[in-house]
């Protein structure tokens, strides 16, 4: 009798557990970490180096959701057609951004291929948006620390151009400075498009999204 009971339990378990495992795997695959890079503090608010913060802030504002202060950063979750987008603004300061990325990847059980980092880029004219699946840090301390902590440069990043119209030797002042009135004329539309790219990355995948948006 005990043998029969054991067989029944075993058979039921085999039917149930694969379903549970599949559901868990599906949940993880449907979850994404969207990291907007920047520095915390009012003195850095809406500076060029904080464009990553501004992109995820715009996404959250449009969805009517707010960030909560947590370990290593401020987070909120945005639902898009069955996908869960964990929006993260690291509170580590730029040079230690990798600590926040690693912690929230582990906490939310998010795979590396489902991570997207939104970052300012001096090499691109203001408002130019480029999605890449991997690449060097190009001298960006936030990207460098993320690569150091994760042990790889093979993570997706959305580069938001901030231009490089500054005299030699004033790069730090430029990236920590505020956008011009001219920049602000197109800023809302550029933030909107950046948000569309983030959503497309999660819904359509990186290759389709690059093909659709990188030429614009």
The dihedrals phi and psi of 39, each to the nearest 5 degrees, come to: -115, 140
Of 49, 140, 145, 178, the active-site residue reads 49
Q: Does residue 135 contact residue 205 with C-beta atoms inside 8 Å?
A: no
Distance in angstroms (rounded) separating the CA atoms of residues 198 and 209: 9
Helices and strands per DSSP (H, E), number in the chain? 7, 7
Distance in angstroms (rounded) separating the CA atoms of residues 153 and 148: 8
Question: Which tokens is 154 given?
Answer: 């093979």
Distance in angstroms (rounded) separating the CA atoms of residues 117 and 93: 15
Give yes or no: 6 in active site.
no
* Helix H or strand E segment including 78: strand 73-80
Which positions are annotated as active-site residues?
Answer: 49
């Amino acid at each position: 009798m005990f043998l029969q009971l054991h067989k029944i339990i075993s058979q039921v378990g085999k039917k149930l557990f694969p379903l549970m495992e599949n559901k868990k795997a599906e949940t993880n695959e449907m979850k994404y970490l969207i990291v907007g890079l920047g520095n915390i503090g009012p003195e850095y608010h809406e500076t060029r180096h904080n464009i990553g913060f501004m992109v995820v802030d715009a996404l959250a504002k449009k969805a009517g959701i707010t960030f909560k202060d947590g370990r290593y950063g401020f987070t909120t979750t945005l639902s898009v057609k069955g996908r869960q987008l964990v929006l993260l603004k690291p509170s580590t300061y730029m040079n230690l951004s990798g600590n926040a990325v690693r912690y929230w990847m582990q906490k939310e059980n998010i795979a590396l291929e489902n991570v997207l980092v939104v970052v300012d880029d001096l090499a691109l004219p203001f408002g130019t948006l480029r999605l890449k699946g991997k690449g060097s840090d190009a001298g960006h301390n936030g990207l460098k620390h993320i690569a150091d902590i994760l042990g790889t440069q093979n993570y997706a990043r959305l580069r938001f151009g901030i231009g490089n119209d500054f005299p030699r030797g004033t790069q730090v002042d430029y990236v920590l400075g505020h956008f011009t009135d001219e920049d602000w004329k197109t800023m809302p539309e550029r933030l909107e498009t950046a948000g569309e790219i983030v959503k497309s990355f999660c819904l359509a995948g990186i290759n389709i999204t690059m093909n659709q948006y990188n030429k614009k």
